[in-house]
Amino acid sequence: MKRVYFKTFGCRTNIYDTQVMKNSLEDFKIVNSEDEADIVVVNSCTVTNGADSGVRSYINSQNRKGKRVYLGGCGAISKGGELFENGKVFGVFGHSEKENLNRLLKNEERFVEIGDLKSLDKSIVENYEGKTKAFIKIQEGCNFRCSYCIIPFVRGDARSQEESRILKQIEKLASNGYGEFVLTGTNIGSYGKDRGTTLGELLQKIGKIRGVRRVRLGSIEPIQIDESFKEILNEPWLERHLHIAIQHVDEEMLRLMKRRNSYKRDLELFWELSEMEFALGTDFIVGHPGESQKIWEESLKKIKKLPLTHIHAFVYSKRDSTPSAKLKDEIRGDVAKKRLKELEALVKEKNYRFRLSKKDLELTVLVEEERDRFYVGFDQFYNKIYIKSKTDISKEWISIGEYDVEFERNYAEF
């Protein structure tokens, strides 16, 4: 049997998609090292130029090793044709074709099979090798058309997975010992719009499944936190961390980005959730065309007023065929990187202050790995904690009452 190694780039949705690909293989052996592999399947990301560059660099490295490389994921849609024509990959396949991977890898002729952007996965994932938590893709695609974003063009319009399939998958994974579930998708807050239900209603049903200890959500939009969602905010199984994508705080920038949120409403929502003891993260783009120095300075003042604890910030990356790519008031790269560092430093300080304020609370931790003589896990606020223990606590749920809060992270003995 030929040996296959999977290399996954990008988001949690790709982690799920890779597992679907692995489940489809019948005539190949999956290996955990690219050095052992005959075939390398790349599940790619294309959200930024940096993501494209990382994928391309990895493919080149595998070509030099003589591996047969196949390209899937979002980059297959945006860059697959170019890489195929240049002989960098043996085959290219789109999202709708990943469940056909066994057949595709048996094909001895080079191919491009992009498929369509309307499909939903039919597979039921029952296990994640080497993972302590399970990823559940509840929907695919996005109906938003933010001016900077290429993802709707490579994932398609929003469509929701059948509720029964989601619940069945969680039941199987819970029976296999998984207690934490991460709901993922392109735009999970849109779940149910095409099926007459809501994300909040789905969460209520997930929370009733035996074995579910913690549910973590991927990124959601501020406008998607409706009344049905607010009804589950006090449920004990909901992680006390929410990631709410705002992307910017300046009204002119939000208009240029074609966003649906506003700073005033975001500020009110974030403080409402903060008062309910939630840690709060967000996505933020710096250096988008039009972000003048004055706008940036005022934006920093606004960010300081937000009760943020986590941030996924990145420098704007021009994506072909998006409206933002046509804007001429561009920001120099060194200026954007400086702003990124300012923002990350600000939120890092906020995170430290948050952890200090929760010092008297008991932490519920799922230990994920052992690293550098510590056991490492995440608490209910999605903060990392390093633990010293004389016993093996890998993949265990533990409660920690006493711990040290240091600027970088929390430390404890167990």
Q: In this predicted structure, what is the pLDDT of residue 371?
A: 92
For the stretch 160-204, pLDDT in tens is: 999 999 999 999 999 999 999 999 999 999 999 999 999 999 999
Side-chain half-sphere CA neighbours of 206 within 13 A = 30
Give the Cα separation of 262 and 244 in Å (integer): 13
Side-chain half-sphere CA neighbours of 12 within 13 A = 20
Name the phi and psi angles at 18, rounded to 5: -65, -40
| Identity of the residue numbered 339 | R
Quickly list DSSP for 29-44.
EE-S-GGG-SEEEEEE
Q: Which residues of the chain fall below pLDDT 50? A: none
| Topology of the domain covering 2-113 | Rossmann fold (3.40.50)
First to last CA, the chain: 45
Task: Tally DSSP H helices, then E strands, for the chain.
Answer: 13, 20
Q: In this predicted structure, what is the pLDDT of residue 127?
A: 83
| Identity of the residue numbered 376 | V
Whether 39 contacts 23, CB under 8 Å:
no
Q: In this predicted structure, what is the pLDDT of residue 321?
A: 87
Structure tokens at 206: 């997930």
Closest CA to 355 of 343, 347, 344, 366: 347
Q: In this predicted structure, what is the pLDDT of residue 23?
A: 93
Is beta strand 91-93 parallel, antiparallel or unpaired with respect to 68-73?
Answer: parallel
Q: Percent helix, strand and coil across the chain, each rounded to 5?
A: 35, 25, 40
CATH superfamily for 134-357 is tm_1862 like domain (3.80.30.20)
Closest CA to 374 of 321, 330, 329, 413: 413
Reported for 249-255, long-range contacts at CB under 8 A and 24+ positions apart, including other chains, are: 249/299, 249/302, 249/303, 249/306, 250/291, 250/295, 250/298, 250/299, 250/302, 252/290, 252/295, 253/288, 253/290, 253/291, 253/295, 253/299
Give the Cα separation of 151 and 190 in Å (integer): 15
Q: In this predicted structure, what is the pLDDT of residue 274?
A: 98
Closest CA to 366 of 353, 378, 383: 378
Quickly list DSSP for 134-172.
EEEE-EE------TT--HHHHH-S-EEPPHHHHHHHHHH
Closest CA to 213 of 245, 177, 180: 180
The residue whose two tokens read 């993501």 is: 51
Name the phi and psi angles at 171, rounded to 5: -60, -45
3-class SS of residue 115: coil
3-class SS of residue 22: helix
Is beta strand 39-44 parallel, antiparallel or unpaired with respect to 68-73?
Answer: parallel
Whether 191 contacts 198, CB under 8 Å:
yes
Structure tokens at 323: 């409206």
Domain chopping of the chain, boundaries = 2-113, 134-357, 363-413
Q: In this predicted structure, what is the pLDDT of residue 123?
A: 85
Give the Cα separation of 41 and 142 in Å (integer): 25
Q: Where are the alpha helices (DSSP H) in 306-357?
A: 333-357
Structure tokens at 133: 């938590």
Strand partners, 69: 40
